Amino acid sequence: MAIVAALWTQKVKRWSDFLVFSASRTVLHHNNDAVVQLLRSCFTATLGMSSTSVCRCGGVASLLGHGFGSHCSGGLSPVAPGILYLRIFRCIKDCSILAEDILSLLMFSVKDIAETTVPRQRSDKLKKTKYGMRHGQVSLAAAMTQVKVAASLGATLVWLSGGTALVQSLIQEMLPSWFLSVQNLDQGGASGGMVYKLGGHALAYFAVYSGMFAWGIDLTPVSRRSERVMRSHFEFMAGALDGKIALGCDLSLWRAYVSGFLGLVVECTPCWVQEVDLKVLRRLSSGLWQRSEDELAVALLRRAGPEAMGAAAELILGSE
């Protein structure tokens, strides 16, 4: 009887935990601010910036945890934010606003990374050591690793929440609008301007990862659906490099984004380049060449196929 009583006690306790957990999700179904706070917890947990013991280590373990249950004395143990979001994301009504919130949270995370990982010194005081480029005592590689993690999480949340349609809206509408608006990420100069460079790379990884989730990296019927989106985004970048589009964001952020985005596309998703008009690619390559990014300019045209070889030759010969 003692064994049976113990089993029933355990079962009742688990049912109690389940009811408490289910009730906690109710507020997330009706309150967008609560969803934003949950997304913020996902970023802080993954990056190891949370003060709670369950999320302090960072990584996937902190994001997803070990489910839920009474693993601690005195009641229900903390639930990992990723698990909670997986239980409620299908009930979110307005995914477009959610993508904007994810974009904002990504940039706030980059700001935190820049202010905590990179010492408060001028960004031009980089020192070359046998271990690579270092900013004070902390390697910039550590900051870039955190930035990539944050970008991959943001892309995952966008793809999970809205699928291909939300990714298309992100690349075709939200990102251009973000670049056109004024963004002050380094108030007070706490990061020495490094937040803009890290932010540009974060947005580049964010956009490319989102596109990979939606359309893949190979020439397939699914990937061809990205043709209109990629053409629009490449034309926007070309217009900004030509000076025909006035940007509101910091120039160093924009340069980091263009270099990062095109570099990732050339190396990881070359099929996207083949979907873009050759005239647009020539404008992009010319802009990169003027910024002394010769290798990337030529690589971009090379990925466009044999028909772009003439344009590459003209670019090289015209600079001599």
Tens of pLDDT along 287-302?
898 888 889 988 898 8
44 and 103 in a single domain? The answer is no
221 and 202 in a single domain? The answer is yes
61 and 110 in a single domain? The answer is no
- The answer to whether residue 179 sits within a structural domain is yes
Confirm if 84 and 26 have CB atoms less than 8 A apart: no
| Ranges of residues in the chain whose predicted pLDDT is under 70 | 1-30, 50-57, 66-78, 118-139, 186-192, 219-225, 318-320
- The answer to whether residue 301 sits within a structural domain is no
Token pair 């809206």 is at which residue?
Answer: 169
Confirm if 214 and 226 have CB atoms less than 8 A apart: yes
Burial 153-171 (b: 16+ CB within 10 A, else e): bbbbbbbebbebebbbbbb
Distance (Å) of CA 155 to CA 34, 108, 151: 20, 15, 6
pLDDT the model gives residue 130: 40
Which one-letter amino acid corresponds to residue 182?
V
pLDDT the model gives residue 122: 44
54 and 146 in a single domain? The answer is no
- The answer to whether residue 293 sits within a structural domain is no
pLDDT the model gives residue 123: 46
pLDDT the model gives residue 13: 52
Range of the domain at 143: 94-119+132-276
Please tell me what DSSP assigns to residue 65: B
Confirm if 308 and 281 have CB atoms less than 8 A apart: yes
* Domain closes at, from 41, 75, 93: 93
105 and 239 in a single domain? The answer is yes
Overall domain count for the chain: 2
Q: What is the pLDDT of residues 171-195, one digit of tens each?
A: 999 999 999 987 777 666 555 678 8
Residues written for the chain: 320
How far is Cα 177 from Cα 181, in angstroms, rounded to an integer? 6
Which one-letter amino acid corresponds to residue 142?
A
Q: Name the pTM for this structure.
A: 0.83
74 and 104 in a single domain? The answer is no
How far is Cα 3 from Cα 121, in angstroms, rounded to an integer? 64
88 and 99 in a single domain? The answer is no
Spatial strand order of the sheet with 132-135 comes to 126-129, 132-135, 138-139
- The answer to whether residue 71 sits within a structural domain is yes
pLDDT the model gives residue 79: 74
